[in-house]
Structure 1
């Protein structure tokens, strides 16, 4: 879709730290992460919300989300993860995306007042993306 930031990332027209590059979906680091490793999973086809995603694509899409949640623990040492999607309200980009965020006890995430933690550099962001990508590609 023209003008969609996520479609531009998918097409390679906009830079992003990719974590997953599958035939049906792409995952990349959020540029304003709640915690380092915060990843956005998007379908390659432009769908605005979860409701718009065809039923036949829901299972494969959330299989990627499940794999990302596991990678948060194996690659980043997180105790768990937060997986969420907004539909229209609070959806900053109108392209379906699922947030997969590493979580740890007492990490400061409370309710919907979420602190943001920036990467120290592009190199640090690239290193987080590589760690998660490597974990996704292990048997």
Structure 2
């Protein structure tokens, strides 16, 4: 655990969150500033700064994280119409909390990811 990490503190129960799914290795909770009708963050309970670090250091944890994302998408009713699964990695990508997390977004048409250049 990184005591300075917001998500580690959520895992430890120090900061409240609206949990929608939990396993031994993952935690899924609603985003406090949702960008879609459904916006759930899915994190590994163990601290890894980003998805690349997780994949390199804990391949099984990567699989657990993706499996948890699939469960969240299903339980949130997103499978029929579709959903977006997003990992921001690094400051240029907009990563704000440096504890790997997947955004599960859906519930309405989300439009294009990036504006044309």
Correspondence for 1:79: 81
Kindly indicate whether residue 67 of structure 2 is the aligned counterpart of residue 66 of structure 1: no
TM-score relative to the length of structure 1: 0.70
Gaps of 5+ in 2: none
Alignment of 1:34-49 (within 5 A): 34-49=35-50
Gaps of 5+ in 1: 114-139
Change (3 A) 1:64 1:28: same
Q: CA RMSD in A?
A: 2.0
Kindly indicate whether residue 52 of structure 2 is the aligned counterpart of residue 51 of structure 1: yes
TM-score relative to the length of structure 2: 0.82
Q: Tell me how far apart the structure 2 counterparts of residues 33 and 92 of structure 1 sit (CA, whole Å).
A: 14
Change (3 A) 1:103 1:112: farther
The structure where helix makes up a greater share of residues is: 1
Contact in 2 for aligned 1:35/1:102 (Cα 8 Å): yes
Q: Tell me how far apart the structure 1 counterparts of residues 82 and 24 of structure 2 sit (CA, whole Å).
A: 27
Q: Aligned pair count?
A: 109
1:101 shift after superposition: 0.8
Change (3 A) 1:112 1:17: farther
